[in-house]
Chains A and B, each alone.
Chain A
Amino acid sequence: MNSRLNIRAVLIGLLMFFAIWQALAWLIHRPIMPSPFQVLPIFVRSMIGELGVHFLASTGRVLAAIALAVVSAVPIGLGLGQMPQVNRIFAPLIAIVYPIPKIVFLPVIYVLMGITDISKIFLIALIIFFQILVVVRDEAANLHPELILSVRSLGAGRRALFRYVYFPASLPAMLTALRVSVGTAVAVLFIAEQSLTTYGLGYFIVVETYQVLRYPEMYAGILAMGLLGLILYLVIYHLELKVNRYRAEEQD
C-alpha cells in the first residue's frame, strides 16, 4: 500500500464522483440517469427510514459472513500451514476450488440449506473463506523455523504460539485478503438478495425500485450499496495500516 488513503483523498474522490455523475445526468438527460441533486435528498431521507432498514439487513449479512469466514478459515489455514503433510493432501483440492466463482453454488445452497438468511450468509462466507484460507496458510508455512523454536523455548505451547506468533503473523495478509474479497462479497450479496427475501439492498434496488421504475429511489439504493462497500473497505484498510505500523516505520 504505497498511496495512503486519507480523509482528504476520500473527499476529493467523492467530489469527482459526483461531478462526473452530474455531467452524465446532463448528457444523457433521461429518467434512468437522474441528477445527484435529485437523488441525494431522497437518499438522506430514506436512509433514516425504509432504505436504512435494507442497509442494516445487508450490512448484517456481510458482517456475519465475514465473521463466519474468519472464524473458520483462520484456524484451518493456520493448521494447514503448520502441518505440511496435511497441507500436501489438501493443497490440490484447494487450488481447484479456489478460483471457482462461488455464486454458481447459489441454487445448491438454497436447496440444501433452505431459503433463510443462513444460506445467503453461507454463500458470501464461502467466497471470503477461500481467500483467507490460502493467505493464512501460506503465511503460517513461511514463518522462520528458528522464530518458532525460540518462542517455544520461552515456554509457548500450541495455544500461545497461535496467540502470539501465528495469528499476528498472518493478520496483515488476512486483512489484505479480506479487503480484496469484500468487493466480490458485496457483489454476490447484491445478487443473492434479489430473490427469496424482502430485506436487503439487492431486494430494494431490483424489486422495490428498478422493477417499478422508481429510478431516483433506485439510485439511493445504489448509493447505499456503494457506501456499504466503501465503509467496509476503509475500515479494513485502516486496520491494515495499524497492524503494518512496524513496517511503515522501517528506517532504511
Chain B
Amino acid sequence: MINIEDLTFAYSGQPPIFQGYSLEIQRGEALAIIGPSGCGKTTLLYLLAGLRHPQSGHILIDQVSIKRPRPRSGLVLQDHGLLPWQTVRENARLGLTIWGFYGSDGRHAPVDETIDARQADQRVDGWLTKLGIENLRDQYPLQLSRGQRQRTAIARTLAMQPDLLLMDEPFSALDAPTREDLQKFIIDLHAATDLTYVIVTHDIEVAVVMGKKILVLTKGCNQNAHMIDNACAGLAAGRRQDAFQQTCEDVRHLLGSLT
C-alpha cells in the first residue's frame, strides 16, 4: 500500500534525517515506529500524511505520489487539535464539513463517494456512540478531559472512513485505563476492517502492543530500515507474558545498539 522509495529529507540547515531510505508497508499492516526523540519518527509520519515533502525520492500510497494530504488518510496527533469554539459534535464533523465545503473533488475529499448533510450527521453520531462520547456531543473541548478530547479527535478522523490511519503519540498524554481502552478500540477496528495503521511512539510497550511490525529509527541519519516482526501484538488476551517481555527486550536492545 505504501512505498517509500529512495527518500531523502532534511530540515533546512540541518543534516538529513533520511537518506536513500526505502520501506514498503502492506495493506492491512499494523506498524509501530519507535525511536529516540529527534530520530525523525514524527517527520516520517508527516511525510506519509503529505504535510512535509521529501527533498528527493517518492512516497507512493496506492501507487500515487503524495504531494498533499490524501483524503483517505487519517491523522491523529498527541495534541488532538480540536477547534475550541466548536462542540464535540461539530469538531467530530469537521472533516465531513470540509468535504462538503469543497465537494467530492478528489483533492480535498474522496472522489469516489458523495455524502449529504444528513448522512454526515448520522455517521458522526455513530462514531461518537462507538467511542462512548455521544452524551458529550454538545460540550466544548475546554470542558472535556484529555481522554475525551482524544476520543473526539479519533471520531473526527474515523468519520472520514480512512483506509490508512496515521497516529503520532496518540495515547501518550492519557491515563493508563483510557490508553488501554483506546488501544483496544484501534486494534479491534483494525481486526474488523482492512484499516492500515501507522503509530509513532517513544514507548516500547505501546509499540509492542500496537505494532505487528515495529520499525526502529535511529538518531542521526536513517538509511536502512530496522524492522522487527512482532507476534505478540494485541492486548492482554492470549498474550504470552514472557514472549511479550522478550519482544520488548529485543526492541530495547535494538534501540540501544543503534544509538
* B51, B74, B81 interface centre (most CB from chain A within 10 Å): B81
Give chain A residues whose Cβ lies under 8 Å from the Cβ of B153: 150
Q: How far is the CB of A163 from chain B (nearest CB, A)?
A: 7
* From B49, B79, B141, B143, contact of A153 by CB (8 A): B49
Task: Tell me, in angstroms, the Cα distance from A118 to B95 when the chains sit together.
Answer: 43
Interface residue? A160 (CB, 8 A): yes
* From B102, B143, B157, contact of A249 by CB (8 A): B143
Task: Tell me, in angstroms, the Cα distance from A93 to B59 when the chains sit together.
Answer: 43
Please report which residues of chain B, range 130-189, place their CB below 8 angstroms from some CB of chain A when the two chains form the complex: 140-143, 153, 156-157, 160, 166
* From A144, A156, A250, contact of B79 by CB (8 A): A144
> In the bound complex, do residue A153 and residue B83 qualify as a contact, i.e. CB atoms below 8 Å apart?
no
Task: Tell me, in angstroms, the Cα distance from A151 to B74 when the chains sit together.
Answer: 10
> In the bound complex, do residue A156 and residue B98 qualify as a contact, i.e. CB atoms below 8 Å apart?
yes
Q: How far is the CB of A31 from chain B (nearest CB, A)?
A: 53
Task: Tell me, in angstroms, the Cα distance from A156 to B82 when the chains sit together.
Answer: 14
Q: A163-B101, A249-B143 given as contacts; is B77 within 8 A of A155 (CB)?
A: no
Interface residue? A147 (CB, 8 A): yes
Considering only CB atoms and an 8 Å cut-off, how many residues of chain B contact the other chain? 40
Task: Tell me, in angstroms, the Cα distance from A115 to B140 when the chains sit together.
Answer: 50
> In the bound complex, do residue A150 and residue B80 qualify as a contact, i.e. CB atoms below 8 Å apart?
yes
> In the bound complex, do residue B85 and residue A243 qualify as a contact, i.e. CB atoms below 8 Å apart?
yes
Task: Tell me, in angstroms, the Cα distance from A146 to B86 when the chains sit together.
Answer: 17
Smallest CB gap from A156: residue in B: B98
> In the bound complex, do residue B73 and residue A153 qualify as a contact, i.e. CB atoms below 8 Å apart?
yes
> In the bound complex, do residue B97 and residue A164 qualify as a contact, i.e. CB atoms below 8 Å apart?
yes
> In the bound complex, do residue B98 and residue A155 qualify as a contact, i.e. CB atoms below 8 Å apart?
yes
Interface residue? B244 (CB, 8 A): no
Smallest CB gap from A161: residue in B: B98
Q: How far is the CB of B247 from chain A (nearest CB, A)?
A: 30
Smallest CB gap from B109: residue in A: A155
Give chain B residues whose Cβ lies under 8 Å from the Cβ of A152: 51, 69
Give chain A residues whose Cβ lies under 8 Å from the Cβ of B77: 146, 149-150
Smallest CB gap from A150: residue in B: B81
> In the bound complex, do residue A250 and residue B95 qualify as a contact, i.e. CB atoms below 8 Å apart?
no
Interface residue? A226 (CB, 8 A): no
Give chain B residues whose Cβ lies under 8 Å from the Cβ of A169: 83, 85
Task: Tell me, in angstroms, the Cα distance from A243 to B83 when the chains sit together.
Answer: 13
Smallest CB gap from A155: residue in B: B108
Q: A153-B51, A160-B108 given as contacts; is B140 within 8 A of A249 (CB)?
A: yes
Q: How far is the CB of B167 from chain A (nearest CB, A)?
A: 11
* A144, A147, A243, A247 interface centre (most CB from chain B within 10 Å): A147
Task: Tell me, in angstroms, the Cα distance from A146 to B150 when the chains sit together.
Answer: 14
Task: Tell me, in angstroms, the Cα distance from A74 to B123 when the chains sit together.
Answer: 34
Task: Tell me, in angstroms, the Cα distance from A31 to B84 when the chains sit together.
Answer: 56
> In the bound complex, do residue B51 and residue A146 qualify as a contact, i.e. CB atoms below 8 Å apart?
no
Please report which residues of chain A, range 116-166, place their CB below 8 angstroms from some CB of chain B when the two chains form the complex: 144, 146-147, 149-157, 159-160, 163-165
Q: How far is the CB of B114 from chain A (nearest CB, A)?
A: 14
> In the bound complex, do residue B142 and residue A153 qualify as a contact, i.e. CB atoms below 8 Å apart?
no
> In the bound complex, do residue A246 and residue B101 qualify as a contact, i.e. CB atoms below 8 Å apart?
no
Q: A144-B81, A160-B108, A168-B85 given as contacts; is B94 within 8 A of A154 (CB)?
A: yes
Give chain A residues whose Cβ lies under 8 Å from the Cβ of B141: 246
Q: How far is the CB of B41 from chain A (nearest CB, A)?
A: 15
Task: Tell me, in angstroms, the Cα distance from A172 to B75 when the chains sit together.
Answer: 28
Smallest CB gap from B97: residue in A: A164
Interface residue? B9 (CB, 8 A): no
> In the bound complex, do residue B108 and residue A156 qualify as a contact, i.e. CB atoms below 8 Å apart?
yes
Task: Tell me, in angstroms, the Cα distance from A151 to B166 when the chains sit together.
Answer: 14
* From B80, B82, B86, B95, contact of A155 by CB (8 A): B95
15 other A-B residue contacts (CB within 8 Å) besides A153-B69, A154-B156: A146-B77, A146-B81, A150-B75, A150-B81, A151-B83, A154-B69, A155-B95, A157-B108, A160-B98, A160-B102, A164-B97, A164-B98, A249-B143, A250-B140, A250-B142
- For this complex, 22 residue pairs linking A to B, each with C-beta atoms less than 8 Å apart, are A144-B81, A146-B79, A147-B81, A149-B51, A149-B77, A150-B80, A150-B81, A151-B83, A152-B69, A153-B50, A153-B73, A153-B75, A154-B156, A155-B102, A155-B160, A156-B98, A163-B101, A168-B85, A169-B83, A250-B140, A250-B142, A251-B142
